[in-house]
Structure 1
Amino acid sequence: MGNCLCVKESIKVNGRRYLIREKLGEGGFSTVELIEDALTHKLYALKRITCHSQADQKVALAEVEYHNALRHANIVECIDSDLIGAPDLMGNRTSQVLIVLPYYRRGTLHDDLMRRQKAGTPIDEVVVLTMFRSICEGVQCFHTARPRPLAHKDIKTANILLQDDLTPCLMDLGSVSRARIEVNNSSEAQQLQDEAAERSSMPYRAPELFTVESHCNIDERTDIWSLGCLLYAMCFYKSPFEAVYERGDSVALAVISGIVKFPESHQYSQELLGLIKSLLRVKAEERPYIDWIIGTVDELINKSSGAV
C-alpha cells in the first residue's frame, strides 16, 4: 500500500512533530486527537484548548499546571504542552493550549460500561472495589494537595481512562480548583453556582452546587458525592440520576431529594450498597472524607476476597 505519512496533517509541540491520525472527542472549547510521534511512531492523545480571551488562556494554562503539580499513578500524565498564538477579542484571534497525554486504547470507564451493559456482563464486585480504590487514591492526591486542598469537580465515568489492565486514571483537569470555599454573599454564591453549571456534569453534581446558599462553606466533599454516583455507575452502568437527566426532568430536584434506588436484581453485597449510600448524603457534612472511604474499601476488598 505504500507509506502515506506524507499526506497526514502534522503539528509541533515544543518543536517535536506529531502526525494527526484522527479525532477522538470534542468538548465545548477543546478537541482531543490521536497523534503519532513522527520519529518514534508512538501514539499519544493531543488535547487542544481554544482560548478566546486572556481569561480563557489563564484557565487552560492552569490545567497544565495542575497536571504538573499532581503527579500520581491514577491521574493522567501530561507528557508535554505548548501555547500557540495570543487571544485578541477585538481582532477575532484565538490562542491554543496544547497538551500531549498518553493514549489509552481501551478508552474511558464510560466506554467500558456501555460495552458491558450491551453484553450484560457487569463488573465483578472485587474488581469494582479494586478499581474504585485506585480512583479514590487519585482523588486523595487532589484533596491532600499543598498549599491548599484541591477538588476535581467533574468526576464521572467519562473522565476515567482505563489502561489495558483496567488501572483507572482521572483525566480532564480543566474543572480543578481549590476545594474549600467560603461563600459570603449572593454574588459569590451565584458565581460558584454558575461555575458548577459550566464545569460539572449534572448527573454527578453535588446537591450543594445546584443552589448555592449566600452564606456557606463548600469543601472537597463535593467530589465525594460524585464518587458515590461513580461507584453506583460502576455497578449499574449509569449514575443514579442519569435516567432523570435523559428524560429531561429536574436533576436538581432528584438530587436534593436524596432518593437513590437500586435495581431489584443484582450481584452486589449490601455492604457495597451501604458504601454508595454513605457517599450520597445530601448534607455535605454527613459525607465521609476520602481517607475513610479508602479504609472502608480495603475492608470490603478483604471480605469479598475471603480474607480473614
Structure 2
Amino acid sequence: MNTLGLSMIMKMGCFCTRESVNINGVKYVVKERLGEGGFSCVDLVENTTTKKKYALKRIVCHSIDDQKTAMQEINYYKKLRHPNIIELIDSTFKGSADIVVQATSEAYLVLPYYKRGTLHDYLTLRSFSKHHLDVKDIIRMFLEICAAIKFLHDFTPDPIAHRDIKTANVCLTEQGDPILMDLGSCAPAKVQVCGAQDAQRLQDIAAERCSMTYRAPELFNIESYCVIDQRTDIWSLGCVLYAMMYFKSPYDVVYERGDSVNLAVISGTVHFPEETPFSEDMHGLVRFMLEVNPNERPFIDKVIERVQGYKNKLEIVA
C-alpha cells in the first residue's frame, strides 16, 4: 500500500473504527443508534464473541438522584419477570455522578434486540397502505399487553403502575407477540397526594415521564388532596387499543392539529372515523377504558374480562 493510501486510511480512522463497550467482562461493539429520548439513548450492539445483537440503553446521570432513578429502573427490570415484559440481560454503571465537580455517570442496560421494532413502527408502516389490522390479531395482542399490565398491577407486596404505556413502548417479537418495555417510568401504583407541593411534584414527573397523548386526565391537573392509582394505565391502554385500530392514539390527532391535548383529554373527547371496519363493540371497549373519572374507570381484571368476552363472541361467530 502506498503512503498516500495509508495516510487516507489513518485520517478516516474515526469513521471506520466502531465504539466498543465492556460490560461486566463482555465486550460489545456499537453498530448504530436506534433511538433517543429525553433521558437516554438506545444503540444496537453486537457481542464480539457470540455475534448476537442486543439493544444497549444508556442513561446519563448528572446527580446522585439521577443514579438512584436509574438504579430503580434496573431493579424493576430484575424483579418483573413475565413473558410479555422485556428482560434485562446485564447492567452496570460507569463513572460517578457528583454535581459539585460537574461529573456524570452512565447506566448501561443490555436488553434483547427485536428486529421488528415496536408496535408504533408496525402501525406506522400499516398506516401508509391504510390496511387495518385484523380484529382477531388486535384482540390477541391486546390481551397479551393486558397480561403484562395485570402482572404489574397484581405485583406483591406492592402493586406497580407502568405510567407510560404507549405503542412505542411495546416491542414485537418475530412471531408478533407484544413485549412491554421501558420500565423507567414505573412507580408504586397507589400514590397519596397530600397538599399542593405533592401535587405539583407528581404533575412535573408525569409531564416528564408520561407521553402526553397517552396520559390519563388526572395526571394533567393533579388535585392537592387525592389518590392516584394504577388506573392511569387503563386510560393509556384505551389509547393503545384505539391506535391498534386506527394507527394513532385519539389524542395524537389532536396534537397534530395544534389543538390542546390537555383540554381534549380532560373533556374525554374521542372521535371514531365514520368509515370503519370495526364494530361498535370495539369502540365500546375503547370508551370503557377512556373514562375521565378515574374512580369510575375499570381495573385491569374488568378490562381483561370484557375483552375476553368479545374474543369469545368473535370465535362463536367464526
Deviation at 1:305, TM superposition (A): 2.4
Deviation at 1:302, TM superposition (A): 1.7
In structure 2, what is the Cα distance between the partners aligned to 1:87 and 1:13?
A: 18
Paired position in structure 2 for 1:203: 213
Q: Which runs of 5+ in 2 are unaligned?
A: 1-12
In structure 1, what is the Cα distance between the partners aligned to 2:299 and 2:71?
A: 29
Paired position in structure 2 for 1:46: 56
Paired position in structure 2 for 1:244: 254
Deviation at 1:7, TM superposition (A): 3.4
Deviation at 1:292, TM superposition (A): 1.3
Paired position in structure 2 for 1:221: 231
Paired position in structure 1 for 2:28: 18
In structure 2, what is the Cα distance between the partners aligned to 1:306 and 1:85?
A: 59
Deviation at 1:300, TM superposition (A): 1.2
Paired position in structure 1 for 2:7: none
SS of 2:316's partner is: coil
Paired position in structure 2 for 1:258: 268
Paired position in structure 2 for 1:296: 306
Paired position in structure 2 for 1:82: 92
CA contact (8 A) 1:126 1:305 kept: no
Deviation at 1:306, TM superposition (A): 2.7
Paired position in structure 2 for 1:98: 108
Q: Which runs of 5+ in 1 are unaligned?
A: none
| Deviations, residues 84-133 of structure 1 (Å, cap 9, x unaligned) | 11011122211011000000000000000000000121110010000000
In structure 2, what is the Cα distance between the partners aligned to 1:248 and 1:47?
A: 32
Paired position in structure 2 for 1:276: 286
Deviation at 1:248, TM superposition (A): 2.5
Structure with max Cα Rg:
2
Query: Among residues 36, 56, 63, which one is paired with 2:73 in the alignment?
Result: 63
Paired position in structure 1 for 2:201: 191
CA contact (8 A) 1:9 1:20 kept: yes
In structure 1, what is the Cα distance between the partners aligned to 2:134 and 2:305?
A: 20
Deviation at 1:8, TM superposition (A): 2.5
Paired position in structure 2 for 1:136: 146
In structure 2, what is the Cα distance between the partners aligned to 1:29 and 1:218?
A: 24
In structure 1, what is the Cα distance between the partners aligned to 2:130 and 2:264?
A: 27
Deviation at 1:9, TM superposition (A): 1.7
Paired position in structure 2 for 1:176: 186
In structure 1, what is the Cα distance between the partners aligned to 2:241 and 2:260?
A: 22
SS of 1:68's partner is: helix
Structure 1: which amino acid aligns with 2:197? Answer: S
Paired position in structure 1 for 2:18: 8
Deviation at 1:307, TM superposition (A): 6.3
Query: Among residues 253, 267, 282, which one is paired with 2:277 in the alignment?
Result: 267
| Over 2 Å off, 4+ runs | 305-308
The TM-score, its normalising length taken from structure 1, stands at 0.96
SS of 1:208's partner is: helix
| Deviations, residues 258-288 of structure 1 (Å, cap 9, x unaligned) | 1211001111121111110010000001111
Query: Among residues 107, 125, 138, which one is paired with 1:115 in the alignment?
Result: 125
In structure 2, what is the Cα distance between the partners aligned to 1:216 and 1:63?
A: 26
Paired position in structure 2 for 1:166: 176
SS of 2:45's partner is: strand
SS of 2:91's partner is: strand
In structure 2, what is the Cα distance between the partners aligned to 1:301 and 1:10?
A: 48
Deviation at 1:247, TM superposition (A): 2.5
Paired position in structure 1 for 2:41: 31
Paired position in structure 1 for 2:155: 145
In structure 2, what is the Cα distance between the partners aligned to 1:50 and 1:13?
A: 16
In structure 2, what is the Cα distance between the partners aligned to 1:19 and 1:307?
A: 52
SS of 1:268's partner is: coil
Q: Does 1:285 align with 2:295?
A: yes
Structure 2: which amino acid aligns with 1:152? Answer: H
In structure 2, what is the Cα distance between the partners aligned to 1:218 and 1:88?
A: 33
The TM-score, its normalising length taken from structure 2, stands at 0.93
In structure 1, what is the Cα distance between the partners aligned to 2:167 and 2:32?
A: 23
CA contact (8 A) 1:125 1:304 kept: no
Identity %: 52
Deviation at 1:290, TM superposition (A): 0.6
SS of 2:222's partner is: coil
